[in-house]
Structure 1
Amino acid sequence: MSATPILALVAHDAKKDAMVEFARRHKDKLSAFDLVATGTTGGRIQDACPDLNITRLKSGPLGGDQQIGAMIADGKLQGLFFFVDPLSPMPHDVDVKALMRLAVVYDMPMALNPATADILLRSARLAGLKTTSTTPEVGNYSS
């Protein structure tokens, strides 16, 4: 990974199509970032948008959620886009909750659905990252 700001893309099975459509709609903006994604989600986005710089991690239930959580804790991520499926039971729900908890603890911009993701991607906070690679400190709420 380079000094380019990094965003994480994750989607539950029922939301993978929405994530792929989000990436297609915003591929120009997303191309300004390095992207990490959990296994299948990353593969689907790569197929739809081959020009995006995506590093595929493990599948969420097989450790991908923890890999992203470690990146948050290490200050390597600038944003999390996690399209969750609130209507299906998740056997690895504790992993998902831990990932979201870390995003909150480290004041990480996080979008859990396409509507919020659209707003976050247009935000001044992420737009400013394209020219700087600094990560806000825990508890720094200014943007």
Structure 2
Amino acid sequence: MRLGLAANRLHHLSQDAALFRWLRACEPGIRELGIELHTVGRTFDAIAAAGMLAGYTGLRRYPYGREGGLMKLVAEVVGLGSAERTLDGAIYLIDPVDPSSVFPEAVALKRQCVIHGKPFISTVASARDWIEVERIHAGLAPDPGVDVLHAFESQTLALIAHDAMKPQMLAYAAEHFDLLSRFSRRVATGTTGLRLNELAWSRGWPQGQAWAHRFESGPMGGDAQIADLVLERQCQRAIFFEDPHVARQHEADIQLLERAVTTVTFDAVCITSPAMAQRWATAAKARAQRIAQGSERAATV
């Protein structure tokens, strides 16, 4: 697996910064999986100066952002004709008040990941969770350090889908209904929430009892309402099926939610495409099953 890697300056300013906290937690998994990290210059230099991933041949250096490093990541997410010039996704740890986070190449990096069904990972929690997803798919044992991210029974999940993506969200919820029902609470914007509740009632959820709490529609401020939940650390995970091909009048509200997620970088996990949501759900189920089987074996010893 090849992932682009960049981090805004805030996230590698000190030894306790987001980039280093993620690497300390996930370096064993990165090495186990042999993930290549194609890293923009300043981020690479910070990792090297901190002595992290020492001797790891999968850490590759790209030019500084001002020299086109981030632009190269965008092109390689799209693909440049060979495996060596194609990325499987990108980790971009964003400081939402850093002006570079809204530069065209930064926006394009996310958009191309979504279009091509590849992970775009913008928070430490998401990056840590994604390494675990790949570990589980590789058949490795669950990492107990990630248990807190999979304590769904104490978490709130946001389910958001743009108009063209609502059928895919409903199909996804139907396929993974039991997994999504493990969350303590589910929230959604107006129309998506209405359709999700209708689906839940058809699946035997108590009639009249909301499976998903409905906020306003996106254009009427629903994204902003969910953004506030994220900022208050009352929403820990968002599955957001975006339509990158359509300009929306309430684009600012959508960006508000994205900025809220990156503001609480250690606490919020965000998944931005059906392909990535599917991969996460499959891994989450397999992880829970392996833990249960391990507990059963321990009880019989």
TM-score under structure 1 length normalisation: 0.80
What's the % identity of the aligned pairs? 37
Query: Which residue number in structure 1 is paired with residue 274 of structure 2?
Result: 114
Q: 2:256 aligns with which of 98, 108, 122?
A: 98
* Partner SS state of residue 154, structure 2: coil
* d(CA) in 2 for partners of 1:35, 1:68: 11
Q: 2:172 aligns with which of 14, 17, 22?
A: 22
Instruction: Say whether the 8 Å CA contact 1:61–1:92 is kept in structure 2.
Output: yes
* d(CA) in 2 for partners of 1:59, 1:110: 20
Count of aligned residue pairs for this structure pair: 124
Instruction: Say whether the 8 Å CA contact 1:109–1:120 is kept in structure 2.
Output: no
* d(CA) in 1 for partners of 2:243, 2:271: 13
Unaligned runs of 5+ in 1: 128-143
Query: Which residue number in structure 1 is paired with residue 191 of structure 2?
Result: 40
TM-superposed deviation, 1:53: 2.3
TM-score under structure 2 length normalisation: 0.39
Higher helix share: 2
* Partner SS state of residue 49, structure 1: helix
Instruction: Say whether the 8 Å CA contact 1:16–1:41 is kept in structure 2.
Output: yes
Instruction: Say whether the 8 Å CA contact 1:42–1:56 is kept in structure 2.
Output: yes
Instruction: Say whether the 8 Å CA contact 1:10–1:41 is kept in structure 2.
Output: yes
Structure 1 residues 78-131: Cα deviation after superposition (integer angstroms, max 9, x where no partner): 10111111111100111111111211221211111111112334349xx6xxxx
Q: Is 1:88–2:239 an aligned residue pair?
A: no
TM-superposed deviation, 1:5: 1.4
Q: 1:73 aligns with which of 219, 223, 231?
A: 231
Larger Rg: 2
TM-superposed deviation, 1:49: 2.0
* d(CA) in 1 for partners of 2:271, 2:230: 15
Unaligned runs of 5+ in 2: 1-152, 289-301
TM-superposed deviation, 1:45: 1.0
TM-superposed deviation, 1:4: 3.5
Question: RCO greater where, 1 or 2, for CA within 8 Å and sep 6 or more?
Answer: 1
Instruction: Say whether the 8 Å CA contact 1:8–1:36 is kept in structure 2.
Output: yes
* d(CA) in 1 for partners of 2:166, 2:270: 17
* d(CA) in 1 for partners of 2:279, 2:212: 21
* Partner SS state of residue 18, structure 1: helix
